[in-house]
């Protein structure tokens, strides 16, 4: 018999966060989160997402042993402002037992109906900057700190329980030595001169910080037309600044400005922490932070996290300026592999950015939907 219990205290929240450590203990592809960071993300008094959203966390038990977990999320901005009556679920993990998945997903359906919502979709987080999508292809590639990993049977569970694929995301990689440098150099010179644009040359975090708010403004402009978009609030900006700034090398953040110093494009790249995160097993102390610091400085793999271009400048070659700058930075760092983190497979504007790269799709992931009416 499966029993569900709602998380109501810190001890239970830690059990919720650490359940995947047991579930994936034998996987060489799962990348664990930092436990303290994950606790903060799911804490109402620490994550500003709770200012406009509510979430309930549930653990599934079988014979008094935890066998599954799920987060049921109601985003009020999405529902009341954007008029998308969606019930979200995320942080979904389970043993290969259909009864466990049914109990967890039935609870989300129940909550969705109680809020008079129209459909359930997941796995997703609170917003666009959270992890989303269940892996459907590429199970034999190591995960990243920015994505969820899951067993293949998750997909069978969703489909058997009446959930249909909703959105697809792709992840790909390319070798640094395949970057078409000469093309970017040529286009960089033409575009910079034509539109009077200039790239940032920052090497210190304190130089980057004053431009972060402008970057989030541009992020909201760039992605506002996507069906998945939920705007990033001012409080969330401050939260993400604190959460991610220590993981990012300042020279891995590129901005492009016009002649009036207005930001027209940006890109954020992260060093890969996957191997280090597997080593530290979710703990920063006593020596985990040193391993992460080493990875930050020495990783030969980088992750393209976000790219945004002001709508007026889209499809005008502005990204050539960004890629030209990254090439010079990566050359100094002796980068070998570049990973593109999840992008909607039907986001043609994004696909266009990468048309000159020799990219290999290494993963696909999907969200799944079920009607509530």
Indicate the pTM of the whole model.
Answer: 0.92
Question: Which residues lie across from 175 on neighbouring strands?
Answer: 337
Instruction: Write down the mean pLDDT value for the chain.
Output: 92
The pLDDT assigned to 228 comes to 59
What's the pLDDT tens digit per position in 52-80?
A: 999 999 999 999 999 999 999 999 989 99
Closest to 124 (Cα-Cα) out of 305, 342, 284, 298:
342
Which of 81-85, 90-94, 262-266 shows the highest mean pLDDT? 90-94
Q: Is pLDDT above 80 for 237? A: no
How many alpha carbons fall within 13 Å on the CB side of residue 79? 19
Round to whole Å and give the CA distance between 97 and 166: 23
Q: What is the share, in percent, of the chain residues with pLDDT greater than 70?
A: 98
Residue with tokens 């049921």: 72
| Structure confidence at residue 314 as a pLDDT band (50, 70, 90) | confident
Residues in the chain: 373
Q: Is pLDDT above 80 for 223? A: no
* Contact yes or no for 241/233 (Cβ under 8 A): no
Q: Is pLDDT above 90 for 303? A: yes
Q: How, if at all, do strands 337-344 and 301-309 pair?
A: parallel
Instruction: Please state which of the ranges 10-14, 227-231, 302-306, 348-352 shows the lowest mean pLDDT.
Output: 227-231
Q: Return the higher-pLDDT residue of 102 and 317.
A: 102
Q: Which domains does the chain have, with CATH numbers?
A: 2-171 (3.40.630.30), 174-365 (3.40.630.30)
The pLDDT assigned to 227 comes to 59
Q: What is the share, in percent, of the chain residues with pLDDT greater than 90?
A: 71
The pLDDT assigned to 275 comes to 96
What's the pLDDT tens digit per position in 167-186?
A: 999 999 999 998 888 888 89
Q: Is 245 helix (H, G, I), strand (E, B) or coil?
A: helix
Q: Is pLDDT above 80 for 265? A: yes
Mean of the pLDDT values across residues 20-41?
A: 96
Q: Return the higher-pLDDT residue of 243 and 55.
A: 55
- Residue 238 CB coordination number (10 Å): 14
Mean of the pLDDT values across residues 28-50?
A: 95
The pLDDT assigned to 65 comes to 97
Q: Is pLDDT above 70 for 19? A: yes
């Amino acid at each position: 018999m499966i029993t569900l219990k709602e998380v109501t205290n810190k001890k239970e929240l830690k059990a919720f966060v650490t359940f995947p450590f047991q579930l994936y203990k034998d996987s060489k592809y799962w990348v664990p989160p930092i436990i303290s960071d994950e606790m903060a993300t799911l804490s109402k008094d620490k994550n500003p997402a709770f200012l406009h959203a509510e979430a309930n966390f549930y653990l599934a038990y079988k014979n008094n042993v935890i066998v599954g977990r799920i987060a049921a999320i109601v985003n009020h901005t999405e529902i009341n402002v954007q008029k998308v009556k969606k019930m979200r679920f995320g942080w979904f993990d389970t043993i290969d037992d259909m009864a466990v998945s049914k109990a967890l997903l039935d609870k989300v359906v129940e909550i969705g109906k109680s809020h008079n919502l129209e459909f359930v979709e997941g796995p997703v987080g609170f917003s666009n900057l959270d992890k989303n999508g269940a892996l459907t292809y590429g199970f034999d590639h190591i995960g990243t700190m920015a994505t969820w990993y899951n067993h293949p049977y998750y997909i069978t569970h969703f489909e058997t329980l009446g959930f249909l694929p909703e959105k697809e995301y792709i992840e790909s990689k390319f070798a640094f030595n395949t970057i078409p440098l000469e093309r970017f150099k040529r286009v960089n010179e033409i575009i910079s001169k034509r539109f009077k644009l200039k790239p940032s040359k920052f090497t210190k975090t304190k130089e980057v910080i004053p431009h972060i708010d402008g970057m989030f403004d541009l992020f909201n402009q760039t992605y506002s037309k996507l069906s998945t978009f939920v705007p990033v609030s001012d409080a969330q900006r401050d939260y993400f600044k604190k959460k991610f700034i220590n993981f990012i090398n300042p020279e891995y953040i590129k901005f492009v400005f016009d002649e009036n110093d207005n930001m027209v494009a940006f890109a954020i790249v992260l060093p890969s922490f996957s191997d280090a995160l597997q080593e530290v097993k979710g703990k920063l102390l006593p020596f985990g932070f040193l391993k992460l610091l080493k990875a930050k400085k020495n990783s030969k793999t980088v992750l393209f996290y976000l790219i945004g271009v002001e709508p007026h400048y889209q499809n005008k070659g502005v990204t050539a300026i960004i890629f030209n700058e990254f090439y010079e930075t990566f050359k100094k760092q002796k980068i070998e592999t570049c990973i593109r983190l999840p992008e909607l497979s039907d986001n043609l504007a994004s696909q266009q950015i990468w048309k000159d790269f020799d990219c290999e799709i290494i993963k696909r992931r999907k969200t799944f939907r079920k009607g509530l009416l």
